[in-house]
């Protein structure tokens, strides 16, 4: 019988070598899984930031669209910056003559003559003339209640007011607006809500209950208004912090508000 060659007899791994290989593979696998977990966590954080950004855009764009239809000089921050309140316009018209004002010494009138008017949405409960700031509008100095609501449609002629009214100032270019009530967006109980058909009052709107949910998790923030002159625009500063789990996204936006007299 031929003896087994020495080189063939010693072929293969020793136990020590096998253990070393197992340890090396385990270390490499551990490092690889650690990097993989870090990659997954990084992707999750990126996705959360994208989601928070999308939520902030939806909320801010909704408010911007609503504010496009705000009555000039009616946008104000209330409840210590917790809310932004404004009065949506539902229609407009053109006066035949100047309104009775305290400036021109005219006596109050319970009627207004309009060359033409239109109500485009909802129903009109008030008519506004001559307001140049939110105080005039919300205090009633530039606002008069209609004797009865005016629905969607067009017309002209005499409209009846609920009582004899003297406006604080004459309407610029004899332009008047029809409104129904005020609206507000508020940060309340850690969320952003929309409140519709609020009353028009000199006292700023303060939320006491939840409204229509706009965004479900707002950790902090609020609103501030930089008022413009009669022929300029105003600016709403929206500083909200959107949250999701442990992630946060601060939204520092500026909404330009047209102030067309």
pLDDT tens figures, 127-164: 988 766 778 888 888 888 999 998 899 988 889 999 88
Average pLDDT over residues 21-38: 69
CA-CA distance, 43 to 49, in Å (whole number)? Answer: 10
Of the CA atoms within 13 Å of residue 35, those in its CB half-sphere come to 5
Residues pairing with 108 in the sheet: none
Query: Which residue's entry shows tokens 């996204």?
Result: 249
* pLDDT exceeds cutoff 70 at 67: yes
User: Which candidate, 168, 160, 20, places its Cα nearest to that of 99?
Assistant: 168
CB 215 within 8 A of CB 186: no
Write down the domain spans for the chain: 49-85+182-257, 89-179
Tokens encoding 29? 């696998």
> Residue 155, SS3?
strand
The total number of residues shown for the chain amounts to 261
Rounded CA separation 53/35 (Å): 27
What are the φ/ψ torsions at residue 228 (nearest 5 degrees)?
-105, 170
The label of the residue with tokens 């005219």 reads 106
How open is the CA angle 124-69-225, to the nearest 5 degrees?
Answer: 115
DSSP 8-state code for residue 99? P
Question: Could you tell me which residues are beta bridge partners of residue 167?
Answer: 101
Q: Which residue has the higher pLDDT, 61 or 122?
A: 61
Lowest mean pLDDT among 9-13, 180-184, 211-215, 240-244: 9-13
Residues 107 and 165 sit within 8 Å (Cβ to Cβ): no
Q: What is the tens place of the pLDDT at every residue in 181-217?
A: 999 999 999 899 999 877 888 888 999 888 999 998 8
Assess contact for 162 and 103: CB atoms under 8 A.
no
Element (H, E) at 7: helix 6-9
What gap in Å lies between CA 46 and CA 97, rounded to an integer? Answer: 61
pLDDT at 1 over 80: no
Residue of higher predicted confidence among 34 and 118:
118
């Amino acid at each position: 019988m031929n003896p087994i060659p020495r080189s063939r007899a010693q072929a293969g791994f020793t136990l020590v070598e096998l253990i070393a290989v197992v340890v090396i593979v385990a270390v490499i696998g551990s490092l690889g899984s650690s990097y993989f977990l870090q990659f997954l966590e990084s992707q999750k954080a990126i996705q959360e930031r994208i989601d928070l950004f999308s939520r902030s855009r939806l909320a801010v764009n909704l408010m911007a669209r609503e504010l496009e239809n705000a009555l000039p000089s009616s946008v104000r921050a209330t409840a210590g910056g917790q809310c932004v309140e404004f009065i949506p316009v539902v229609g407009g018209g053109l006066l035949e003559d100047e309104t009775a004002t305290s400036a021109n010494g005219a006596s109050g009138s319970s009627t207004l003559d309009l060359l033409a008017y239109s109500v485009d949405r909802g129903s009109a409960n008030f008519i506004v003339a001559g307001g140049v700031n939110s105080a005039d509008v919300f205090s009633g100095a530039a606002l008069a209640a209609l004797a009865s609501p005016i629905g969607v449609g067009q017309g002209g002629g005499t409209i009846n007011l609920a009582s004899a009214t003297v406006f604080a100032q004459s309407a610029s270019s004899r332009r008047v607006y029809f409104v129904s009530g005020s609206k507000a967006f508020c940060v309340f109980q850690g969320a952003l809500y929309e409140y519709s058909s609020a009353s028009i009052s000199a006292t700023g709107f303060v939320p006491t209950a939840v409204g229509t949910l706009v965004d479900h998790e707002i950790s902090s923030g609020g609103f501030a208004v930089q008022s413009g002159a009669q022929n300029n625009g105003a600016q709403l500063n929206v500083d909200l912090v959107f949250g999701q789990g442990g992630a946060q996204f601060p939204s520092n936006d500026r909404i330009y508000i047209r102030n067309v007299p």
